[in-house]
Amino acid sequence: MRNDSNWTTDRRTLLAGAAASAAALLAPAKAFAADGLDAVRKAVAANHDEAVKRLQDWIRLPSIAAENKAMPEGAAYMAKLATDAGFQHAEIVPTRGHPGVFATLDAGAKRTMGIYFMYDVKQYDPAEWSSPPIEARLLDKEGFGQVVMGRGAVNQKGPQATFLAALHGMKKAGKKLPVNLVLVAEGEEEIGSPHFSDIVIKPNVLAALKKCVGVIIPTGWQSPATGGVEINLGAKGVVEFELVASGEKWGRGPKEDLHSSQKARVDSPAWRLVAALSTLVTPDGNTPLVDGFMDKVRPLTPRERELILLASKNLNEADAKRAAGVTHWIDDMSWEAALERLAAQPTINIEGLVSGYTGPGGKTILPSRAVAKIDMRLVPNMTRDDSIAKLRAHLDKRGFKDIEVNVSGGYDPTETPEDSDLVRAMQATYKRFNVPTTLYPRLAGSWPGVTFTGAPVNLPAGQFGLGHGSGAHAPNEYFVIKSSNPKVLGMDEAAVAFVAFLEEIAKS
């Protein structure tokens, strides 16, 4: 998932305050007595050490697409994890980029559930970590209990390993799964899933997906404050790209960095990039000005407005600001307006700027090249391709034909109907575990759900899972193994919840 710790933290605080409105919650441990899950609960507990080791071993094999690191190995390991968990068929699926994995588990059930996994992880810098990022050490984290710390712990190996633990638990308990499973995994999620559709349009993969009720990505995002989770009825799309101004392409300015005294008579690609950037948004940086960028934006529906209004009443603004590390929203807008923008506002964001000398102090050069790393977040009915085409036309029209737009990844927005069997099964399962839920129209972050919700697959798709972790894309990423917080499930009970979810799907 394209969420870093801040976002995860923010999601948590989105839910802070919901506790107050969720009266007289039972502690989860008491809630599921006699829930029909005791046999699998016992089996999962018996498998505990093995399940934790499986997660640790996975973290110890970091596949990083951006660095072309251990990609074939990661795919092969993913296929093995599937086979070990009971999938009868598992195959590596080559793409124009890094390979994916497709696996099926036929339980002889009436209904079939789709599962999305990512086997890649975000880059990391060991120097920033308090525990080595690929050692996957088990540590005590105050207020949380025993956690595994390592790159991918919550994003997404921990929740995915928890799902696998559910399957191993069912096997151990001698039970058939209540649904068949179709697993589709990719290794390029962290670079914007550029070849994910290569996998799902493969005829046997597409045929298998077509039988599914829907698709989930396993998550573990319970709020430590309330135990609550959010059900998002979709997610924004995203496009990531670099804008590059260079003497090479421009035909003006230097081809290599030049002494800065030459600025008197030589053009500057860095100033050119600044000029181009300044046309993309309003001077406050908050409203896209790319010609036609907003044309396809579909206004919020009355139901979406209602959900946002509800969320604004349940959720705590101060906590959300604290989690984001800010003291003001844009334009000092109201809490409800901030929640609405989060769901409904397309954005053009600078992820990074790089040009010339970037070390300590200065260096008197006129750089030959300047790069802005940008992401755009898209809402229905915007598309990735249309947004990039509009950007290109916008730049061309202003004479910036030489400025390169190098897209590295991205996908369209995704939406799943509130009245789908998938969302109903999520709600039923969370209710069964006494977990407070908030329905929100659209995740402001992005995931490649559109590959499932869009043509040709056309399925509902979303996040599901219990348990807790944080620190995605950040140092000291962790996932709770044994919870000391009564509001949050440990890994074993989160695995049991996946079984409960599959039962709800079977009933749907």
Q: Interaction with a second copy in 11-70: which residues (CB under 8 A)?
A: 66-67
Question: Whose Cβ is closer to a second copy: residue 97's or residue 178's?
Answer: 97
Q: Does 110 bind a second copy (CB under 8 A)?
A: no
Question: Do residues 39 and 170 touch, judged by C-beta distance below 8 A?
Answer: no
**Number of Cβ within a 10 Å radius of residue 140:** 10
Tokens of 278: 């300044």
Upper half-sphere CA count for residue 156 (Cβ side, 13 Å): 28
Binder to a second copy among 151, 272, 390, 432 (CB under 8 A)?
A: 272
Least spacing, CB of residue 225 vs a second copy, in Å: 19
Least spacing, CB of residue 406 vs a second copy, in Å: 10
Name 399's Cβ contacts closer than 8 Å, sequence gap at least 6: none
Strand order of the sheet with strand 89-93? 89-93, 100-105, 180-186, 112-118, 212-218, 461-464
Residues from 177 through 216 that contact a second copy (CB under 8 A): 191-192
Q: Does 7 bind a second copy (CB under 8 A)?
A: yes
Binding mask 297-336 for a second copy (x = CB under 8 A): ---------------------------xxxxxxx--x---
Q: How far is CA 246 from CA 254, 265, 355, in A?
A: 8, 17, 10
Least spacing, CB of residue 309 vs a second copy, in Å: 16
3-state secondary structure (DSSP) of residue 371: strand
Least spacing, CB of residue 65 vs a second copy, in Å: 9
3-state secondary structure (DSSP) of residue 300: coil
Binder to a second copy among 17, 97, 220, 247 (CB under 8 A)?
A: 247
Question: Whose Cβ is closer to a second copy: residue 56's or residue 368's?
Answer: 368
Q: Does 128 bind a second copy (CB under 8 A)?
A: no
Q: Return the range that interacts with a second copy (CB under 8 A); candidates 135-143, 249-257, 418-426, 484-492.
A: 249-257
Question: Whose Cβ is closer to a second copy: residue 5's or residue 438's?
Answer: 5
Binder to a second copy among 341, 384, 390, 432 (CB under 8 A)?
A: 341
Q: Return the range that interacts with a second copy (CB under 8 A); candidates 149-157, 267-275, 462-470, 487-495.
A: 267-275
Binder to a second copy among 141, 373, 392, 424 (CB under 8 A)?
A: 373
Residues from 470 through 499 that contact a second copy (CB under 8 A): 473
Q: Residue 415, Cα to own-chain centre: how many angstroms? A: 15
Q: Does 219 bind a second copy (CB under 8 A)?
A: no
Q: Which residue has the tokens 């421009």?
A: 250
Helix axis angle, 48-59 to 71-84, nearest 10°: 170
Least spacing, CB of residue 54 vs a second copy, in Å: 28
Q: Does 173 bind a second copy (CB under 8 A)?
A: no
Question: Whose Cβ is closer to a second copy: residue 139's or residue 353's?
Answer: 353
Question: Whose Cβ is closer to a second copy: residue 304's or residue 503's?
Answer: 304
Q: Residue 396, Cα to own-chain centre: how many angstroms? A: 33
Q: Is the peptide bond before 456 cis (omega within 30 degrees of 0)?
A: yes
Residue 190 to residue 196: CA distance in whole angstroms: 12
Binding mask 403-442 for a second copy (x = CB under 8 A): -----xx---------------------------------
Q: Return the range that interacts with a second copy (CB under 8 A); candidates 26-34, 41-49, 223-231, 251-259.
A: 251-259
Binder to a second copy among 23, 24, 33, 264 (CB under 8 A)?
A: 264
Which DSSP symbol is given to 221?
B
Which DSSP symbol is given to 209?
H
Least spacing, CB of residue 317 vs a second copy, in Å: 11
Residues shown for the chain? 508
Name 136's Cβ contacts closer than 8 Å, sequence gap at least 6: 55, 56, 57, 59, 60, 148, 149, 150, 153
Name 106's Cβ contacts closer than 8 Å, sequence gap at least 6: 88, 180
Least spacing, CB of residue 306 vs a second copy, in Å: 19
Work out whether the CA dihedral 16, 20, 22, 28 comes out positive or negative.
positive
Question: Do residues 125 and 132 touch, judged by C-beta distance below 8 A?
Answer: no
Q: Return the range that interacts with a second copy (CB under 8 A); candidates 3-11, 26-34, 428-436, 460-468.
A: 3-11
Binder to a second copy among 39, 76, 92, 275 (CB under 8 A)?
A: 275
Q: Does 147 bind a second copy (CB under 8 A)?
A: no
Residue 68 to residue 97: CA distance in whole angstroms: 10
Residue 416 to residue 453: CA distance in whole angstroms: 7
Question: Whose Cβ is closer to a second copy: residue 203's or residue 362's?
Answer: 362
* DSSP-assigned beta bridge partners for residue 242: 373, 406
Question: Whose Cβ is closer to a second copy: residue 204's or residue 286's?
Answer: 286
Least spacing, CB of residue 130 vs a second copy, in Å: 17
Give the total of residues touching a second copy (CB under 8 A): 96
Q: Does 266 bind a second copy (CB under 8 A)?
A: yes
Q: Is the peptide bond before 123 cis (omega within 30 degrees of 0)?
A: no
Binder to a second copy among 21, 278, 301, 381 (CB under 8 A)?
A: 278
For residue 444, which phi and psi values (nearest 5 degrees)?
Answer: -75, -25
Least spacing, CB of residue 340 vs a second copy, in Å: 9
Name the residue among 287, 295, 300 with its Cα closest to residue 330: 287
Question: Whose Cβ is closer to a second copy: residue 174's or residue 358's?
Answer: 358
**Number of Cβ within a 10 Å radius of residue 24:** 4
